[in-house]
Chains A and B, each alone.
Chain A
């Protein structure tokens, strides 16, 4: 089968959830299909300036076709972006009360389609040669990664009916409420990272007949020998960007409360890129960025991974911790994280500092429970989110 994977940027050193997903997807599919990645010559997503050479190359065993960007982010887009967000911070949006988000949805439903499309196209990248290539090249399937950009929105219009699939990586964020996205996504088979995302698709676009299912993702599960149950874990671990948008402020607040009411409180170790003012203090150990081996070692030895971010679209750190047989403690408002906890039986979801204190007390006092949760987490990741499981699902979706 000749398959194209379309993504707005692609290549070594280009960081981003969708870009990484596209690389993993293309790498796996190329084992049993004729795969090409179609992308732009941009490396960054603000100006989308042409930095990489246009044309065809072979990268990590995958054929990549890059098309020039003729229109980056338009000056006019700033006004449309302000109008769309209307005072909302995109990253804090998911935590707003339901009635506020419903009002936002009503407001955007009233936007004329031309205005919605001006927002989508205005953010760039505009790569007409990519769409012309899609129109003239008979791919058996075209898989678009991420819903937001014109590479997907206009690309979908260039692909014959029945051949398009989209991994939308939808978040509960202001632009996702633009109804034209729903109409365009309805022309494709949609592949969610989680059940939560599949549900979100239907909630966001209630009038559309969407064909959605969970395809998930695949992470490299560490060899089983690397995972063991520490005898007396003495610290909680946070992993990920150390940022207000990742729930770290709330985590520090809950941790302070925890120290006041729990005897011999465990330390809190934070690892990841530091993106907010925070210092080591009173049991808090800010390590910053650590390499992968150290990250996995800390995950293995922690009492639990605590992650209170409400915005995760996949929650890879939780899956990594589970693969190390470490229980996870997440915020009850994070639907994706709660889904992982529910489906795996390897985590607990919390509403406040008291529940955090109770969960820690239970995990400390009940090694058997901790062991059982760790085992369930490992099995969940192997079954649902390992590279092998992902490949098996892809083989079922697109048989060789």
Chain B
């Protein structure tokens, strides 16, 4: 993988896979171009020599990584690609030429790998699996396995007490967790906040958690302008990147998670919210709907009035909130609990690893 660190979605997934395979007795090594060196991964050049002897390769395919793709394509053993969602370039048009380029290259690399019949795929969602098949991958070679995540770690960690005290004094009506990026639906979220104020006579307190990239300055400026023009003032708080303990405090001091994201491959915060008992309201996007499941409140073709009204219902109706959380937690227990993901992952991967003598 290009970069390995604890706490980000790809890193959590890779580390979860590593632990699952090691627990079954496989000899597994991690290789990355960069990241947190304390995790003990090897370099990409070490990966090249490791794979020369027929070892299986599990490649985390995401945004542009030329060196990684070359190493993976030349690996002589079993090849499995974990598909990580690549945000389409269209979201970055007019925002960042760098990201447009990286997205296009990443998607092209994905397409090229999908056409290689010897590569098996692990998709995070049926939506991503469908895309891979559409690109040429054989449906029989694409398994769907939810990503490993840190929801259990979040549930166990002590919330940051200072943050907890600060935020519980004015709890958030709405939380959104995800990088401040053009595909994540922040601008819609602000519009819904304005609509809510019109319909219900009070401003929602919204907390936004997530990193941003300075190269998205034009889009960030739009976001700032929206906030100004919609007169949302200090009801919107940008919390930036948080530690795990702070993130726990942010979830616990929020009444709901509202997801208006326009492009996701899975959306881990939906799972975290369910684990911590925070109800989710989402606008429809295929992977979001799939992650949340049939008993969730996912609004398809809904205008801002409808979404704002749904937000109001969940804030005001405790029984509805309880039902949503119960559905989210039931789905978590059956699909997203670490043991469930591990089972699905091993069921998908171990037959592939055993099919070759390169173990």
- A: residues with CB less than 8 A from B are 74-76, 78-80, 82-83, 110-115, 117-118, 157, 179-180, 183
Q: Give me the 4 closest cross-chain CB pairs, A-B, nearest first.
A: A114-B277, A76-B158, A115-B252, A112-B255
A-B contacts, 18 of them at CB < 8 A, read A75-B158, A78-B158, A79-B158, A79-B161, A79-B164, A83-B168, A110-B168, A111-B168, A112-B253, A112-B255, A113-B277, A114-B276, A114-B278, A114-B325, A118-B276, A157-B322, A157-B326, A180-B318
> Do residues A74 and B156 form an inter-chain contact, with CB atoms below 8 A?
yes
State how many angstroms separate the Cβ of A226 from the closest Cβ of chain B: 51
Report the contact-size class of chain B (Cβ under 8 Å from the partner).
Answer: 20 to 34
> Do residues B159 and A79 form an inter-chain contact, with CB atoms below 8 A?
yes
Please name all residues of chain B whose beta carbon is closer than 8 Å to the beta carbon of A79 when the two chains form the complex. 158-159, 161, 164
| Given A113-B318, A114-B254, A157-B322, 14 new contacts (CB under 8 A) | A74-B156, A76-B159, A79-B159, A79-B161, A83-B161, A110-B168, A112-B172, A114-B255, A118-B252, A118-B277, A157-B326, A179-B318, A183-B318, A183-B322
Q: How many inter-chain contacts with C-beta < 8 Å in the A-B complex?
A: 59
- Smallest Cβ-Cβ distance to B257: which chain A residue: A114
Q: With the chains together, A180 CA to B318 CA distance in Å? A: 8
Residue with the highest number of chain B CB atoms closer than 10 Å, among A80, A114, A183: A114
State how many angstroms separate the Cβ of A114 from the closest Cβ of chain B: 4
Chain B window 270-293, contacts with chain A (Cβ cutoff 8 Å), 1 for yes, 0 for no = 000000111000000000000000
> Do residues B255 and A113 form an inter-chain contact, with CB atoms below 8 A?
yes
Asked if B171 is an interface residue, CB under 8 A from chain A, the answer is yes
> Do residues B164 and A111 form an inter-chain contact, with CB atoms below 8 A?
no
> Do residues B158 and A112 form an inter-chain contact, with CB atoms below 8 A?
no
Asked if B165 is an interface residue, CB under 8 A from chain A, the answer is yes
- Smallest Cβ-Cβ distance to A74: which chain B residue: B156
State how many angstroms separate the Cβ of B54 from the closest Cβ of chain A: 42
Asked if B60 is an interface residue, CB under 8 A from chain A, the answer is no
Please name all residues of chain A whose beta carbon is closer than 8 Å to the beta carbon of B158 when the two chains form the complex. 75-76, 78-79
Please name all residues of chain B whose beta carbon is closer than 8 Å to the beta carbon of A83 when the two chains form the complex. 161, 164-165, 168
- Smallest Cβ-Cβ distance to A157: which chain B residue: B326
Q: With the chains together, A183 CA to B172 CA distance in Å? A: 21
Q: Which of A74, A110, A114, A179 contacts B252 (CB 8 A)?
A: A114
Q: Which of A111, A115, A183 contacts B319 (CB 8 A)?
A: A183
Q: With the chains together, A157 CA to B164 CA distance in Å? A: 28
Chain B window 154-173, contacts with chain A (Cβ cutoff 8 Å), 1 for yes, 0 for no = 00111101001100100110
Please name all residues of chain A whose beta carbon is closer than 8 Å to the beta carbon of B227 when the two chains form the complex. none
Q: With the chains together, A78 CA to B319 CA distance in Å? A: 28
> Do residues B171 and A111 form an inter-chain contact, with CB atoms below 8 A?
yes
Q: With the chains together, A118 CA to B276 CA distance in Å? A: 8
Q: With the chains together, A259 CA to B219 CA distance in Å? A: 81
> Do residues B168 and A115 form an inter-chain contact, with CB atoms below 8 A?
yes
State how many angstroms separate the Cβ of A222 from the closest Cβ of chain B: 47
Q: With the chains together, A113 CA to B315 CA distance in Å? A: 10
Q: With the chains together, A115 CA to B164 CA distance in Å? A: 10
State how many angstroms separate the Cβ of A27 from the closest Cβ of chain B: 34
- Smallest Cβ-Cβ distance to B255: which chain A residue: A112
Q: With the chains together, A83 CA to B161 CA distance in Å? A: 9
State how many angstroms separate the Cβ of A188 from the closest Cβ of chain B: 14
Please name all residues of chain B whose beta carbon is closer than 8 Å to the beta carbon of A111 when the two chains form the complex. 168, 171
Q: With the chains together, A112 CA to B325 CA distance in Å? A: 13
Asked if B321 is an interface residue, CB under 8 A from chain A, the answer is yes
- Smallest Cβ-Cβ distance to A184: which chain B residue: B322
